[in-house]
């Protein structure tokens, strides 16, 4: 009996995490063994590590277009950077009791701010987005005042890839003396950034989204911005983040930043073309499928397509069986499948939001990967719809995108 070959693994969940690049691993390895010293030590084994950390900082500075390498503080990842930025701003401006965020922030920002509102009495302005995930600029403008300590708005959304006009938003906040933070975990390495001369005060990033290791990231702090550390203790990171440095992680982040910058034009053009082909072929072959988010202002690697009258989880399981890793816009909360807060904020009807499926590509993806999804997904959706009580051939009509949420 001949066995058919296992399907080739196709990884299209790069907004969740990316594999470490081989060059990144190679640069990290010596720092586990020969160069294991503590960079704060006086002896050569420790002190010898410091120049490599400096190189990592400079590489990251270049990727961000920051004016000074000392504006970067290494952390344990996006979540720590977000929490540090938020709590720092509130402690730095204690007389101000209001915070402004968008309705589609990652939970690393949303949950912290909701907690502060609930338990510490801050007034939280959650700025809505429209059906394409674009920020309501009028509501944003109305929320700004001298009572606001912090604006925290993501540079690009992790589910839809929608890019916010961050420089414009930061400029709008400036006259009020508000501290402006952006969660750029999904934007860094995917779109060119230039922070020198920017009105952005703080920016969060994470290594594992750009082919670096997990558990390491950075917070950009514009020179002169008021700052209160989250961790106190040793004097690492110029007193801004106590704790022995994650040297291997930092070296890995530096290398990942260098590789991202090298590929930011050519690779992203190639990835965008792959994403666009995947998207247009799927929409053409699968009726009642709608691309979500702002089609014009979007990360080059991301598409979330809402397939009406199917469950996202079922799609993911069947894709996984076919060797394809993607992700959904739903979160299973207490046994019921709730569409994500991002889909809800955009007013995507339940019948479509439940089937929202995210494909997030990276420089590792190929035409063959896209071909494989195009070959299997239409059949999967057809089979699932055949089992759905909500689907009939009469249902196959242009999607009605009236907001279905109260
Ligand atoms: N912010 C955004 C937009 C993200 O997508 C993520 C990760 O999914 C995070 C923050 C959290 O980053 P980390 O996993 O490094 O803590």
78 lines ligand 1 (CB under 6 A): yes
Dihedral, CA atoms, 359, 188, 213, 244, nearest 10 degrees?
Answer: -150
Cα-to-centroid distance, 79 and ligand 1 (Å): 6
pLDDT tens sequence across 124-169: 999 999 999 999 999 999 999 999 999 999 999 999 999 999 999 9
Q: What is the pLDDT of residue 334?
A: 42
Side-chain-side CA neighbours of 72 within 13 Å: the count stands at: 30
Dihedral, CA atoms, 42, 47, 50, 51, nearest 10 degrees?
Answer: 130
Q: Report whether pLDDT(1) > 60.
A: no
Cα-to-centroid distance, 25 and ligand 1 (Å): 21
Question: Quick one: average pLDDT of 195-201?
Answer: 97
Question: Quick one: average pLDDT of 335-355?
Answer: 88
E strands, 83-188, are 98-102, 123-127, 148-152, 179-183
- Tell me what the pLDDT averaged over the chain comes to: 93
Q: Could you write out the DSSP letters of every residue in 356-404?
A: EEEEE--TT--HHHHHHHHHHHHHHHHHHHHH-TT--TTT-S-------
Q: What is the pLDDT of residue 5?
A: 56
Distance CA(149)–CA(99), nearest Å, equals: 6
352 φ, ψ to 5°?
-95, -40
Question: Quick one: average pLDDT of 324-339?
Answer: 70
Q: Walk me through the domains of the chain, giving residue ranges and CATH numbers.
A: 10-16+264-386 (3.90.1150.10), 22-260 (3.40.640.10)
Q: Report whether pLDDT(406) > 90.
A: no
Residue 149, both tokens: 């300590």
**CA nearest 373: which of 328, 316, 335?**
316
Q: Which residue puts its alpha carbon closest to atom 9 of ligand 1?
A: 78
Q: Report whether pLDDT(399) > 50.
A: no
SS3 state of residue 154: coil
Q: What is the pLDDT of residue 333?
A: 45
**CA nearest 57: which of 67, 42, 47?**
67
Q: What is the pLDDT of residue 398?
A: 46
Q: What is the pLDDT of residue 229?
A: 97
185 lines ligand 1 (CB under 6 A): yes
Nearest-atom number in ligand 1 for the CA of 156 is 3
pTM attached to this predicted model:
0.94
| Predicted confidence band of residue 338 (pLDDT cuts 50, 70, 90) | confident
pLDDT tens sequence across 25-78: 999 999 999 999 999 999 999 998 999 999 999 999 999 999 999 999 999 999
pLDDT tens sequence across 99-129: 999 999 999 999 999 999 999 999 999 999 9
Q: What is the pLDDT of residue 328?
A: 87
Q: Report whether pLDDT(331) > 70.
A: no
Q: Are 45 and 36 in contact (CB under 8 A)?
A: yes
Choose which residue among 15, 18, 78 to substitute to test ligand 1 binding: the one with the highest number of ligand atoms within 8 A of its C-beta.
78
End-to-end CA distance of the chain: 58
Q: Could you write out the DSSP letters of every residue in 18-62?
A: -PPPHHHHHHHGGGTTTT---TT-SSHHHHTTHHHHHHHHHHHHH
SS3 state of residue 10: strand
SS3 state of residue 208: helix
Q: What is the pLDDT of residue 404?
A: 38
pLDDT tens sequence across 245-287: 999 999 999 999 999 999 998 999 999 999 999 999 999 999 9
CA 322 to chain centre: 26
* 304: enclosing H helix or E strand: strand 302-307
252 lines ligand 1 (CB under 6 A): no
pLDDT tens sequence across 307-324: 999 999 999 999 999 999
Nearest-atom number in ligand 1 for the CA of 208 is 15
Q: What is the pLDDT of residue 392?
A: 72
pLDDT over 70 for what percent of the chain? Answer: 92
pLDDT tens sequence across 205-257: 999 999 999 999 999 999 999 999 999 999 999 999 999 999 999 999 999 99
186 lines ligand 1 (CB under 6 A): yes
pLDDT tens sequence across 290-301: 999 999 999 999
**CA nearest 170: which of 100, 91, 80?**
100
Nearest-atom number in ligand 1 for the CA of 217 is 15
217 lines ligand 1 (CB under 6 A): yes
Q: Which residue puts its alpha carbon closest to atom 12 of ligand 1?
A: 78
Q: Are 186 and 161 in contact (CB under 8 A)?
A: yes
Q: Which residue puts its alpha carbon closest to atom 8 of ligand 1?
A: 16
């Amino acid at each position: 009996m001949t066995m058919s070959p296992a399907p080739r693994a196709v990884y299209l969940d790069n907004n969740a995490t990316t594999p470490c690049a081989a060059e990144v691993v190679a640069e990290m390895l010596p720092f586990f063994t020969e160069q294991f010293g503590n960079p704060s030590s006086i002896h050569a084994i420790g002190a010898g590590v410091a120049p490599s950390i400096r190189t990592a900082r400079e590489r990251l500075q270049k990727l961000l277009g920051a004016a000074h390498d000392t504006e970067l503080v290494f952390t344990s990842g996006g979540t720590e950077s977000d929490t540090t930025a938020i709590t720092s701003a509130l402690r730095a401006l204690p007389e101000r009791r209001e915070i402004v965020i968008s309705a589609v922030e990652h939970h690393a920002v949303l949950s912290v701010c909701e907690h502060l509102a609930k338990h510490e009495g801050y007034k939280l302005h959650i700025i809505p987005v429209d059906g394409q995930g674009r920020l309501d600029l009028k509501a944003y403008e109305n929320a700004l005042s001298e009572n606001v300590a912090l604006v925290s708005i993501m540079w690009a959304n992790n589910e839809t890839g929608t890019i916010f006009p961050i420089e414009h938003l930061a400029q709008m906040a400036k006259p009020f003396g508000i501290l402006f933070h952006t969660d750029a975990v999904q934007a860094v390495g995917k779109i060119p950034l230039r922070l020198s001369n920017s009105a952005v005060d703080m920016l969060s990033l994470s290594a594992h989204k750009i082919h670096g290791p997990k558990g390491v990231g950075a917070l950009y702090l514009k020179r002169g911005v008021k700052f209160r550390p989250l961790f106190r203790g040793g004097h690492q990171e110029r007193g801004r983040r106590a704790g022995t440095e994650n040297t291997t992680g930092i070296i890995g982040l530096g290398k990942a930043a260098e590789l991202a910058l090298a590929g930011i034009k050519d690779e992203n053009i190639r990835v965008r073309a792959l994403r666009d082909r995947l998207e247009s072929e799927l929409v053409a072959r699968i009726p009642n499928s709608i691309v979500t988010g702002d089609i014009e202002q979007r990360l080059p690697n991301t598409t979330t397509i809402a397939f009406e009258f199917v469950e996202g989880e079922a799609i993911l399981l069947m894709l996984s069986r076919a060797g394809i890793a993607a992700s959904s816009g739903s979160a299973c909360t207490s046994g019921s499948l709730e569409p994500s807060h991002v889909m809800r904020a955009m007013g995507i009807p339940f019948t479509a939001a439940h089937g929202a499926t995210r494909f997030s590509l990276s420089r590792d993806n190929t035409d063959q990967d896209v071909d494989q999804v195009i070959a299997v997904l239409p059949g999967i959706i057809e089979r699932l719809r055949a089992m759905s009580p909500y689907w009939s051939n009469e249902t196959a009509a242009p999607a009605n995108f009236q907001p279905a949420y109260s």
